[in-house]
Amino acid sequence: MASTAKISAYLENMEFPVTKEEVITYAKGRHAPKDVVNALEKMRGGKFYTIAGIWDAVGTST
Predicted structure pTM score: 0.91
User: Which uninterrupted H or E stretch holds 28?
Assistant: helix 20-29
Residue spans per domain, the chain: 4-59
pLDDT tens readout for residues 10-61? 999 999 999 999 999 999 999 999 999 999 999 999 999 999 999 999 986 6
Pairing of strands 47-48, 18-19: antiparallel
